[in-house]
Each structure stands twice: as structure tokens, then as C-alpha cells.
Structure 1
């Protein structure tokens, strides 16, 4: 009888843990990130200066299209919003699919939503503008990112799970220098870690 009760409790705890939501992503004040709220990021593993990320023209001679770059800043930082895969969920959680969208005017006549796209000049996948917000599925696979916790803050990861039968690449979002000398966000590259500010 005691053995049956023990196994029943263990089974219930396993189900509860499997169904519990991942921890929320927290801002610098320890509050959960929420959908639609403006946030900023400051990189934590860059020494001797303050660095952030923002959109910039990254084509030949720094013309269109627009991508996401690491940028040394002296106070001004570009804001963005994060939208979860389920629009009914208000809290942004670790390891879950999200859209990331810069605020402000669009560059190069395309949306400010992040997407992963192969850059022929760099010969690797880079984070670009022009993605689609929402509508999870195989058609929007390139538009979904995840946030993971590290010992140095957080990191962006590309490993979408919005399509159960799609074969996807997975990897951290880092930086590399392109042919124009710009530090671009790419799949792989040198890791970047950061914290969220409101």
C-alpha cells in the first residue's frame, strides 16, 4: 500500500513538473519580461565599453538590406519588443519561441521583425530585418528565436520549435565581422551575453 502511494505521488510530481511553464525572463530589476513592453539590451561580456544591438543597413557599402549589428554606444540604445508564440501569454519565458521586433521607423522598406537569412557574401546565416510577426509554422520558421539564461546574463538562440516535422538548425546567436567591418549578429560566431533593461 505504501509503495503504491509513493509511486502515485512520484507520478503526479513528474506530470506537474512536465506541465509547469519554464521560468520567466527577467529584466535588470528582477521583473518578468512582458509581451509588448519596450526593452533594451546591454551586452555583459564586452569589456571596456558599453555595447548594445540595433538595426543597420548591412549591404555592400552599408546600404540595404538591414540587419542586426553590435554597436558601441554612449547612452542611446534602440528599443524592441518581444512577442511570445502564443499571443495570449503575456510573460516571456525561457526556451520558448518568440518574435523580436525593433521599434522606430523601418529601414530599407521592410519590417523591423528579426529573421535568420543566409548571407551569400558572409557565407553564413545572419540576423536580418524583414521577418513576419506571429503566424507560427513552417512558413515563418526563420522568424522565431529563443532566450536562454547564462552565467553572464542571457543569450539569444535560434532553434525554432513552431513546426514539429521541420528539420531546423540550432545554435547560439553571436557576432562576426563582415566584409564592411561591421560586427553582425549571426548563427554561431563569438558569443554575446546581455541583460534586459526597461
Structure 2
């Protein structure tokens, strides 16, 4: 009995002493902060693609998340972890991603995964739920992982311990209107972040 108790205490100590995942960094080397506004730009700075925006033009609803075809910064976004009191966004942890402002579809600006009938695949759209981690909000949680030249988004929520989830990278595909949409499973796209209210060091060569 004493051996079992000691073993259990060892497991608890190990769980609490495990190091926290590494923080996500912006392009200036600063930690991504909860609630702060950032622009998301492609890691490959070739001047052909830019930041992310909501495809709500001509009331295309539900609105998707797309990448600009120019070097424009797109719309600013914020990140919210499962525990909103955590001030730093870390790798491999569940986060909500939310555009600032509003959209013409009168939906929330929180990212979510939804099947796009036109594209015939799962895509990243707005209209998700902020906070309240659990099975009902499963499709509104993403993770950020490191790549060779930046970061990628992954749909692999762990906010529900008993839910079956197929983990997939977020990539880019062209929709019927010619927009470069964020979708699941088309090969990961690599991005970098810079603070929206600072003078970014991001530049197009």
C-alpha cells in the first residue's frame, strides 16, 4: 500500500514539474501575448502573398478565412488560450484565434472548422465560439506549432478528452471565387506574427 501511495505521489510530482511548452514568438523575438493584436503574414516573404482576412465580400456567408494575394497585412487578430489568465501563447496548446472588428455576416470573428460545400472540404471559417472549452466548442480551437521558417496552425483540439479528433495541418486551397482559403489537410502553410501596434521589422525584399 505504501508503495502504491509513493508511486502515485511520484506521478503527481512529475506532472506538475514538467516544463511548460515553449512560447510562440513574434517576428521581433517577443512572446505572443494573450489578447494583444497581431498580423499574420507568410513566412516566405516574396511579396506575392500577404496577411489574412474574412471573405465576407458580397455577403459570402458563412465567411471563410483567406490569404491576401498582395503584401498587405490583412486584418489584425488576437489569441486566447484555454485559461485566459495565462498571459503567454505557447506551442502545442489550445487557442482561440479571433479577427478584430466585425464582419458583414453578423457572425463572431472567432475561427472555427466547418465543411465548405463549394470546396468540398473542411475549411477555416469565422463564426466560432470564444472560450468555454469542451465538446460543444471543439471546432473553435487550434494549436500553433513550429516550422523551419516560422509557425503553422494545426487543428488538433485537446479540450475534450473523450472526443475523437483527426489532427490536421492548416494549409491553403483556391476556392470557386479564386480566393486563397485556409483549409485542413492541404500541406501546412508557414506564417510569422508581428504586433499590430508596433513598428514591425517585417519587410518585403
Q: TM-score, normalising length from structure 2?
A: 0.83
Unaligned runs of 5+ in 2: 1-9, 196-205
- Root-mean-square deviation (Å): 2.1
**Distance in 1 separating the partners of 2:133 and 2:15:** 26
Q: Which secondary structure does the structure 1 equivalent of 2:68 belong to?
A: strand
Q: Which secondary structure does the structure 2 equivalent of 1:132 belong to?
A: coil
Q: Aligned pairs, how many?
A: 185
CA contact (8 A) 1:62 1:180 kept: no
1:195 aligns with 2:192: yes
What residue number does 1:6 align with?
A: none
What residue number does 2:104 align with?
A: 107
**Distance in 1 separating the partners of 2:27 and 2:43:** 12
Structure 1 runs (4+) greater than 6 angstroms displaced: none
Deviations 1:115-152 (A, max 9, x none): 00011221110000100000000000000000001101
What residue number does 2:37 align with?
A: 38
Q: Which secondary structure does the structure 1 equivalent of 2:96 belong to?
A: strand
Unaligned runs of 5+ in 1: 1-10
Q: TM-score, normalising length from structure 1?
A: 0.86
Range with bigger deviation, 42-51 or 74-83: 42-51
Deviations 1:85-137 (A, max 9, x none): 11121110000000000002223010000000011221110000100000000
The 5-angstrom pairing of residues 1-198 of structure 1 reads: 15=14, 19-45=18-44, 47-57=46-56, 63-198=60-195
**Distance in 1 separating the partners of 2:158 and 2:145:** 14
Deviations 1:165-195 (A, max 9, x none): 0001211100001122111100011431111
- Bigger strand share: 1
CA contact (8 A) 2:79 2:95 kept: yes
**Distance in 2 separating the partners of 1:157 and 1:114:** 12
CA contact (8 A) 2:152 2:190 kept: yes
